[in-house]
């Protein structure tokens, strides 16, 4: 009975049966050598199927059989020439000894260390050989399914290498900044008495030198990017100025007021349990996440907002001395 791949790997490298039970057979040992290499390639093909979400037991050219990974055997077919070339090359360049093999009384031949370890070190070779074929089968099956599907190459890393090549090409085509030396020109070494130059900050978009590190983009690129235009900066400045003016006006009307978070949780927070988030957002002009934090008690708002929240929760005189001891 043919044993499964898992059983063969668990018990060591597979064995081959020879017809001559009486003496050592060189041809049987050669077949055993190639059989071990095929078993290693089959193991990598099975792992590739699992990595891509394929069932290794559902093959196309090999019939499905119990205890056999038919799809893994299908993926091995394009790799067979590489396995055979490696096997013949190994036979031609390596000297084998009788101690490399063991033949049992029943005629089974088994590889022994260090030869078996040498073959096991070829697993990365078969992994790289099987990967593109496994990904090609997965892509063909993905194109046949209904719905949205995005081809990936997690085994060979082909898409990742293409993206890295594109990034290198863009960097090579980017003109060097006048303030920074070119990558092909080696900067002249500084003498011990020369003071090192200050670090120059450049625009993240075009590479032009900009003064200071507070800005990330030059004025030319800042206008093109959303959120960095002059109109957007003007609106942002007006909003900040309005908030500061409102805060100063409130402080002038309530001098010496000090917020007590515990009093907020005891008097105002219980009344907010039945208030909708939209009401809190409209009253404080804040985001929904901030309103949720306030209503759940995880965030205590500024003291100037307590009156609005107290009105929403039905609490009178929210800024009494008991709530704001000073």
The string of DSSP letters for 279-307 reads HHHHHHT--HHHHHHHHHTS----GGGHH
* 80-93 and 123-144 helices, crossing angle to 10°: 170
- The answer on pLDDT for 83 being more than 70 is yes
Q: What is the CATH number that goes with domain 5-144?
A: 1.20.120.920
The SS3 assignment for 313 reads helix
Beta bridge pairs of residue 201? 210
pLDDT(223) > 80: no
Predicted model pTM: 0.43
CB contact burial 242-264 (16+ within 10 A = b; e otherwise): eeeeeeeeeeeeeeebebbeebb
Average pLDDT value for residue range 33-56: 89
* Cα–Cα dist 164/270, whole Å: 56
Domain map of the chain by residue range? 5-144, 200-253, 257-326
pLDDT grade for 271, boundaries at 50, 70 and 90: confident
Number of Cβ within a 10 Å radius of residue 35: 18
Q: What is the pLDDT of residue 278?
A: 92
Higher per-residue confidence, 197 vs 15: 197
Distance of alpha carbon 246 from alpha carbon 84, whole angstroms:
82
* Cα-only R_g, the chain: 37
CA distance 194 to 275: 68
Model confidence at 295, pLDDT cuts 50, 70, 90, reads very high
């Amino acid at each position: 009975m043919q044993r499964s791949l898992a059983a063969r790997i668990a018990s060591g490298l597979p064995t081959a049966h020879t017809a001559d039970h009486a003496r050592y057979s060189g041809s049987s040992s050669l077949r055993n050598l190639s059989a071990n290499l095929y078993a290693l390639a089959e193991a990598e093909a099975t792992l590739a199927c699992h990595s891509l979400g394929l069932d290794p037991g559902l093959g196309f050219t090999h019939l499905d059989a119990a205890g056999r990974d038919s799809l893994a055997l299908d993926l091995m077919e394009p790799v067979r020439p590489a396995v055979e070339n490696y096997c013949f090359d190994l036979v031609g360049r390596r000297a084998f000894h009788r101690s490399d093999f063991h033949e049992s009384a029943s005629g089974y031949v088994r590889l022994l260390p260090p030869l078996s370890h040498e073959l096991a070190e070829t697993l990365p070779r078969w992994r790289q050989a099987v990967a593109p074929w496994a990904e090609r089968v997965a892509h063909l099956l993905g194109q046949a399914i209904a719905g949205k599907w995005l081809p990936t190459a997690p085994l060979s890393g082909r898409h990742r290498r293409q993206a890295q090549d594109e990034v290198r090409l863009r960097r090579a085509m980017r003109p060097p900044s006048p303030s920074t030396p070119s990558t092909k020109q080696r900067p002249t070494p500084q003498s011990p008495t020369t003071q090192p130059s200050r670090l120059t900050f450049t625009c993240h978009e075009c590479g032009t030198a900009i003064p200071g590190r507070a800005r990330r983009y030059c004025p030319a690129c800042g206008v093109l990017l959303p959120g960095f235009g002059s109109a957007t900066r003007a609106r942002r400045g007006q909003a900040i100025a309005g908030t500061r003016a409102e805060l100063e006006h409130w402080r002038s009307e309530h001098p010496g007021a000090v917020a007590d978070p515990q009093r907020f949780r005891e008097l105002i927070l219980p009344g907010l349990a039945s208030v909708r988030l939209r009401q809190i957002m409209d009253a404080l002009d804040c985001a929904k996440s901030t309103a949720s934090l306030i209503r759940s008690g995880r965030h205590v708002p500024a003291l100037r907002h307590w009156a609005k929240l107290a009105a929403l929760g039905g609490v009178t005189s929210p800024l009494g001395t008991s709530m704001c001891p000073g």
